[in-house]
Amino acid sequence: MTKPVVREPLRRNSRSNRARILATARQELGRNPDVTLEEIARAAGVVRRTLFGHFPGRAALLEALAEEASETLRGIAAGVPDAEEAPERALARFVLSIWPVGDRYRLLLSLARQDLGTQRVSETLAPARDEATAILERGQRAGVFHDHLPAAVLSAALEAVTLSLLESVNTGAWEDDGTRTAVATLVAAGVSDEAATSIVRDVASEMRDGDASDS
């Protein structure tokens, strides 16, 4: 029996709808954590049946957003490593690179913890955690980070601090573009406050210049 041919325009339209739903869900959940799937469908300009065809429930939608966040973090982690860069600068660059992702998905992390469980959130953050651990190990060997905690334990502790700071942004208690979090991370890793501030300032400026030259 001949299988029906799925036309490429239909597949493209389906992918486009899915991407639009996810982008809308990030935005709408950021505005209202209790937004319904029907409201997300309307905001995305699709009918309810189309949304449920991609995501049969709230958990499925959050799972897709969690995987999207994880893929983004994997991409950033893959682009940051530079064995020639000083570990303290590498750590500052890493935090500054991932902060926009955390800011974009910060409310999702809170919702995913409730709907998907802490284990799924941990899996989502694994690419960032692994890269941070590698940088910390290199810094401990170089003597620029303290070594009274294993790198993996220190990485988990710094991750908890970052999540706490993101939650403070959620509640409106704090604002940051990533630089203050990067300084706090370096200080917690064992860099002096003055040195951490200088390093973050220099790396942030370098990254802005790089973005400007790419545009």
- pLDDT reported for residue 210: 75
Q: Residue 177 above 70 pLDDT?
A: yes
pLDDT bracket for residue 4 (50, 70, 90): low
- pLDDT reported for residue 191: 97
- The domain limits of the chain are 1-56, 58-214
pLDDT bracket for residue 214 (50, 70, 90): low
Q: Which CATH class is domain 1-56?
A: mainly alpha
Question: pTM for the full model?
Answer: 0.79
pLDDT tens-digit map of 25-49: 988 887 788 889 999 999 999 999 9
Contact status, residue 26 vs residue 104, Cβ threshold 8 Å:
yes
Query: Dihedral of CA 164/170/174/176: which sign?
Result: positive
Minimal CA–CA distance to 182: which of 79, 103, 99?
99
Minimal CA–CA distance to 42: which of 57, 62, 54, 24?
24
Give the architecture (CATH level 2) of 58-214.
Orthogonal Bundle (1.10)
Q: Residue 5 above 70 pLDDT?
A: no
- pLDDT reported for residue 186: 97
Compute the distance between CA of residue 30 and CA of residue 113 in angstroms, rounded to an integer: 15
Angle at 104 between CA 115 and CA 80, to 5 degrees: 110
Helix, strand or coil, per DSSP, at residue 48: helix
Angle at 185 between CA 71 and CA 187, to 5 degrees: 165
Query: Dihedral of CA 53/57/63/64: which sign?
Result: positive
Q: Is 17 left (phi over 0), alpha (psi -120 to 50) or beta?
A: alpha
Compute the distance between CA of residue 185 and CA of residue 179 in angstroms, rounded to an integer: 10
Compute the distance between CA of residue 155 and CA of residue 98 in angstroms, rounded to an integer: 14
- pLDDT reported for residue 176: 92
